[in-house]
Structure 1
């Protein structure tokens, strides 16, 4: 009897795929339905397709969008990459945010298309590999971090209130020097303010305090990240973590966290002993990374564009916001 030797998992070929998150200024994005005759026909996905031999990822993206939708990409940002195993193949999906394009969008494969809002997806079923991307689209480009211990509680409350009125939607309470009772009171005030604006608040390092105060999640320190073997219970909501190197990024990936903060990009007062990464190294270590990444460290709102060009979800700021 002959024997068939199956390839070990590390030798299973991976199909490289590009996927476009085509965005409108109001936050809408495009989903397309797989046409009849294709695997998973009827499922909804982000437009895109296989990378051909010799193509760069960006060239493949531009070709696919022209072939499928008749549009030319003017400006696209690299974003998240995810590897997913279907019954028929293992694919590595390279997602790009397409924020500028030209031409009249026409479904050239007669596929259905639909503009959707991240908060309310009205089509189904959606290809399983795209679930985390839909969650990432709910994350805003700016992640603010409080500094009440430096500037005073009342001043911090005023600044945060103003930032919320101006569109801030994600905030971390990080007050290492504040007494527990004062921290609880401060957190409750911030959370009440934020929820009036449908913004989310995470508590740094203290999952129990996050639960008790009604916060929307917890932000792990890099030390906590490297100590735990499983993600905090889902009842704690969102879970992010601070990372400074590839090892910590990998730990966050294994825990399937919602996002990470990576830095410092530049020298900072809060991390004086850490050498800055700079944009080149930042881009290098998050290339093909599967979680949304916020850049942190000596940044201002003017750095958002370059951060997203480097593949980031956005930027995290301490002294620039609150």
Structure 2
């Protein structure tokens, strides 16, 4: 079977805008928008292909980049590996050297442009932060608010409110106390619980347990068939390749993979280790956060392994 390796770039300027290009009308999927890139030649290093394609298409030379996501697609006659990188610095002036329309857009505007379906995971990865904080234990609402505020002040852009020791009524009470801290900001509040929470104002996303994930997949639930408001984030807890496949099937925005290392919160869970984690990330088709025994100092290692970033509890909660 024919195998094709394609490189693509999410190019950011100094204002965090993203460069996108419009496919010519006479090409396959003409009129749709895409992230610049092209085929990797046989034997060509991926970063060399990245530099070559961006020079040929846009007249720029990347000077700083890091891996974002790798997506495998299987077709009846071929397999395609889409190798996506984030470019944060470059020389030259970006323009359509092949006559294509190019445009700098803010991340908040990306959803208003039509991309090929295969680009959906890239869009998710481009919009998600590289750090995901999960709340730990606390004593009372004031301490909860203080710790969350400290995390937000430290640059934690997305936080999951996790409190399994609370009753559903208590969780709701504490959640209502947190919502104003996020209201009117770009910061994301993720919750635990039922899918109905996704429909509520003030809640940006839902983090599914692996049991919820497996149940939804068993029932044939698919996000594109459900009345989930645009822009809501759906995250799934995964521990193995089967669950990562389920997460992609139901249409999650991203997933967590755990435990990468030994963790105090789940002392009996066998850690995956970095080798197995890398192998699982290699085949994942949605953005994935590494979780379990990790902190800010592991962020680069997670990204280099193919993850969206790092998820943690203790590392930020105890600031």
TM-score (norm 2): 0.84
| CA shift digits 1:66-106 (9 cap, x unpaired) | 222233333332222345689x9874422111223334435
- Alpha-carbon separation, structure 1, partners of 2:173 and 2:46: 49
- Alpha-carbon separation, structure 1, partners of 2:300 and 2:227: 32
8 Å CA contact retained: 1:207, 1:217? no
Corresponding residue for residue 254 of structure 2? 259
- Alpha-carbon separation, structure 2, partners of 1:267 and 1:282: 13
- Alpha-carbon separation, structure 2, partners of 1:211 and 1:37: 40
Q: Which runs of 5+ in 2 are unaligned?
A: none
- Alpha-carbon separation, structure 2, partners of 1:201 and 1:231: 23
Corresponding residue for residue 95 of structure 1? 84
Runs of 4+ residues deviating >6 angstroms: none
**How many residue pairs are counted as aligned between the two chains?**
310
Q: Structure 2 matches for 1:131-146, cutoff 5 A?
A: 131-146=120-135
1:155 lines up with 2:120 in the alignment: no
Q: Structure 2 matches for 1:44-123, cutoff 5 A?
A: 44-83=33-72, 91-121=80-110
Q: Structure 2 matches for 1:17-32, cutoff 5 A?
A: 17-32=6-21
8 Å CA contact retained: 1:20, 1:46? yes
8 Å CA contact retained: 1:76, 1:96? yes
- Structure 1 residues 265 and 213: CA distance shift in structure 2, 3 A: same
Q: CA deviation at 1:192?
A: 2.2
- Alpha-carbon separation, structure 1, partners of 2:227 and 2:298: 33
| CA shift digits 1:103-155 (9 cap, x unpaired) | 443533232221111101398553343244223322222211111x3454321
- Alpha-carbon separation, structure 2, partners of 1:213 and 1:178: 22
Structure 1 window deviating more from structure 2 (93-102 vs 43-52): it is 93-102
Corresponding residue for residue 205 of structure 2? 217
- Alpha-carbon separation, structure 2, partners of 1:130 and 1:210: 23
- Alpha-carbon separation, structure 1, partners of 2:280 and 2:203: 31
Corresponding residue for residue 191 of structure 2? 203
- Structure 1 residues 123 and 267: CA distance shift in structure 2, 3 A: closer
- Structure 1 residues 209 and 289: CA distance shift in structure 2, 3 A: closer
8 Å CA contact retained: 1:241, 1:259? yes
8 Å CA contact retained: 1:266, 1:298? yes
Corresponding residue for residue 179 of structure 2? 191
Corresponding residue for residue 228 of structure 2? 235
Q: Which runs of 5+ in 1 are unaligned?
A: 1-10
- Alpha-carbon separation, structure 1, partners of 2:284 and 2:252: 12
Structure whose CA Rg is larger: 1
Structure 1 window deviating more from structure 2 (204-213 vs 281-290): it is 204-213
